[in-house]
């Protein structure tokens, strides 16, 4: 009997994808100071993954998914359009590392920390609970988000793995 392979949908940097179905997995690679935000509606097995680079879009921007504020708003709206209930949405957050010591802003803050704070702020505005996170540190991460069960597998650059 042939085993069915899960379908993996790759989310690039400054990108967002939404998929539905238990045989689907969303994946993103090379999360350093960037953040990966997974939002899941377990009843519909519908989820989205955003790979955002910076916290705020400001006045003009060419790609809403490059930024946490506009990217999360767009992902939440897209999930709603596909039938996800705001009352059932739950979020997981990965990334926001302080990489190589050079991604410090003018005020001394690092980009990863700003991204993490902005995710928390936007999720609070939309009343979506952040149920777990794997953030900070000085190491890159890859994530795989299973739509079968909502679990996120985090593979760290040091080859350690954690399931959240």
- Which residues have a catalytic role annotated? 34
What distance in Å separates the CA atoms of residue 98 and residue 122, rounded to the nearest whole number? 21
74 close to 64: Cβ distance less than 8 angstroms: yes
120 close to 126: Cβ distance less than 8 angstroms: no
Residue 93's CB is within 10 A of a number of other CB atoms, namely 22
Output the six-digit token pair for 23: 């045989």
Residue 141's CB is within 10 A of a number of other CB atoms, namely 23
């Amino acid at each position: 009997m042939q085993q069915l392979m899960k379908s993996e949908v790759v989310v690039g940097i400054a990108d967002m994808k939404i998929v539905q179905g238990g045989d689907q997995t969303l994946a993103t690679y090379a999360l350093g100071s960037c953040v990966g935000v997974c939002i899941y509606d377990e009843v519909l097995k519908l989820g989205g993954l955003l790979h955002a680079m910076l916290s705020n879009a400001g006045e003009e921007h060419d790609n809403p998914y490059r930024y946490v504020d506009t990217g999360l708003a767009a992902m939440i709206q897209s999930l709603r359009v596909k039938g996800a209930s705001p009352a059932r949405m739950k979020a997981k957050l990965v990334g926001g590392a302080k990489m190589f010591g050079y991604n410090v802003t003018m005020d001394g803050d690092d980009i990863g920390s700003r991204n993490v704070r902005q995710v928390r702020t936007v999720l609070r505005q939309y009343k979506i609970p952040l149920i777990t996170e794997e953030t900070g540190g000085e190491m890159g991460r890859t994530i795989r988000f299973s739509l079968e069960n909502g679990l996120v597998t985090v593979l760290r650059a040091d080859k350690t793995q954690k399931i959240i």
